[in-house]
A = this chain, B = another copy of it.
Amino acid sequence: MSGNTFGVLYCVTSFGESHGPAYGGVVDGCPPGLALAGADLQKELDRRKPGTSRHVTQRRESDAVEILSGVYDGRTTGTAIGFLVRNEDARAKDYAAIAEKFRPGHADFTYTQKYGFRDPRGGGRASARETVVRVAAGAIAKKWLKERYGVVIRGYLAELGATKIPFQSWDAVDSNPFFAANTGMAAQLEKQMDALRDAGDSCGARVNVVAEGVPAGWGEPVYGRLDADIAAAMMSINAVKGVEIGAGFASIEQKGSEHGDEMTPQGFLSNNNGGVLGGISTGQAVTVSLALKPTSSIRLPRRTIDLAGRAASIETTGRHDPCVGIRATPIAEAMLACVLMDHALRHRAQCGDVEPPLDLGGDAQRQGRARKP
């Protein structure tokens, strides 16, 4: 299977470039009968949209999505759902200057070496704008998971550069332009971003994502593990350099007597495992944490080479997010939703006749808390 499709049963195929006519996607495998309209996708796309605050790229895109197939009379038909998002504010000329040089931290060099040449307009296929497809596909998965299993998937910005952002409440997330789960830190974060922009530099970020209500039993040993598929999905997001499930890297310093989540008839007593044991969901919250590298496009001059291999210097102007991590929250939620939906379908394919022997009290299990809050 080639690189622009992912998923075994809930399959997402993506196409499009930053400054081409459009992005589009095909979602295949969605169960029939799900109430679905363009507005369901639009709602999530609007959360990811550029230009919503001064802290993200100022590119003007309405990101209006058109559903082209797979929905009839307001419900999914079970056939392939095609959708399209036209690019509106493509400015190919902005990129003339950089077409001749490789931008450090970008995929310019690797695409050129792999394919022999590249579409230099705004990163072409490597642009993070491709994530519109992920968010649209994730919106469908989120809706189905919520309606069918009561699964709720939410994320937030946990660190902005060196600044930790304590989790206060989910309600806070949509009240600020940073997806911070914290109402009191917006001013500080704004100041931090303003200073960064003035300096012509960028910073990294940590995003946490949590899925609550996931039933026990999703995931396949030994390679098709739920956590393995989540890791791939997250690492495939532009700029992600690290993925943790549950206690993640903190596990290294834990003792077994501390890490191993004890159980009672009411459920698990902790969630170091992040809702996954042996690659299979436990019924607790699935907790994932991502590291996003700082935006590669910065105004500060950088050493590089040109297409002929000669030494050069580059300053990347144009419209860029000073911290790509800020807009990553809805994207990470979408990827988690797609993976979970894929595994929900895979699980009921093989184990549709199994009656899980134990009921630990849905409540206890579902309250398994996310790691970072």
Size of the chain A interface, CB-CB below 8 angstroms:
166
Q: In angstroms, how far is the closest chain B Cβ from the Cβ of A1?
A: 6
Q: In angstroms, how far is the closest chain B Cβ from the Cβ of A141?
A: 13
Question: A1-54: which residues lie under 8 A (CB-CB) from chain B?
Answer: 1-17, 20-24, 26, 28-33
Q: In angstroms, how far is the closest chain B Cβ from the Cβ of A140?
A: 13
Q: How many copies of the chain does the oligomer comprise? A: 4
A278 nearest CB neighbor, chain B only: B107
Q: Is A337 an interface residue (CB 8 A)?
A: no
Task: Please judge, given known A-B contacts A202-B256, A216-B113, whether A349 and B348 are in contact too, CB under 8 Å.
Answer: yes
Q: Which residues of B contact A261 (CB under 8 A)?
A: 104-105
Q: Is A175 an interface residue (CB 8 A)?
A: no
Q: Is A64 an interface residue (CB 8 A)?
A: no
**Inter-chain contact A236/B298, CB cutoff 8 Å:** no
Q: Is A209 an interface residue (CB 8 A)?
A: no
**Inter-chain contact B254/A245, CB cutoff 8 Å:** no
Report Cα–Cα, A350/B1, bound state, in Å: 12
Q: In angstroms, how far is the closest chain B Cβ from the Cβ of A41?
A: 15
Task: Please judge, given known A-B contacts A11-B5, A352-B352, whether A107 and B256 are in contact too, CB under 8 Å.
Answer: no
Q: In angstroms, how far is the closest chain B Cβ from the Cβ of A82?
A: 3
**Inter-chain contact B118/A256, CB cutoff 8 Å:** no
Q: Is A355 an interface residue (CB 8 A)?
A: yes
- With beta carbons under 8 angstroms apart, the residue of B4, B126, B358 that contacts A26 is B4
Task: Please judge, given known A-B contacts A15-B68, A204-B252, A294-B259, whether A107 and B351 are in contact too, CB under 8 Å.
Answer: no
**Inter-chain contact A251/B292, CB cutoff 8 Å:** yes
Question: Which of A55-63, A166-174, A180-188, A279-287 contacts the other chain?
Answer: A279-287
A237 nearest CB neighbor, chain B only: B228
Task: Please judge, given known A-B contacts A5-B13, A116-B354, A256-B294, whether A309 and B265 are in contact too, CB under 8 Å.
Answer: yes
Report Cα–Cα, A228/B107, bound state, in Å: 15
**Inter-chain contact A257/B298, CB cutoff 8 Å:** yes
Q: In angstroms, how far is the closest chain B Cβ from the Cβ of A165?
A: 12
Q: In angstroms, how far is the closest chain B Cβ from the Cβ of A341?
A: 11
Q: Is A242 an interface residue (CB 8 A)?
A: yes
A293 nearest CB neighbor, chain B only: B251
Report Cα–Cα, A189/B56, bound state, in Å: 48
**Inter-chain contact A256/B80, CB cutoff 8 Å:** no
**Inter-chain contact A110/B281, CB cutoff 8 Å:** yes
Report Cα–Cα, A95/B134, bound state, in Å: 35
Task: Please judge, given known A-B contacts A32-B116, A304-B263, whether A294 and B251 are in contact too, CB under 8 Å.
Answer: yes
Q: Which residues of B contact A230 (CB under 8 A)?
A: 235
Q: In angstroms, how far is the closest chain B Cβ from the Cβ of A342?
A: 10
Q: In angstroms, how far is the closest chain B Cβ from the Cβ of A328?
A: 12
B interface footprint on A86-127 (CB within 8 Å = 1, 0 otherwise): 000000000000000010111101111111111101001110
**Inter-chain contact A32/B69, CB cutoff 8 Å:** no
Q: Is A373 an interface residue (CB 8 A)?
A: no
Question: A219-272: which residues lie under 8 A (CB-CB) from chain B?
Answer: 219-225, 227-236, 238, 241-265, 269, 272
**Inter-chain contact B251/A241, CB cutoff 8 Å:** yes
Interface-centre pick from A113, A222, A295, A310 (highest chain B CB count, 10 A): A222
**Extra inter-chain contacts (16) besides given A15-B80, A15-B82, A112-B356, CB under 8 Å:** A15-B79, A21-B69, A23-B69, A31-B350, A77-B115, A78-B350, A112-B358, A116-B354, A125-B221, A228-B236, A235-B243, A241-B245, A257-B302, A264-B305, A307-B358, A348-B349
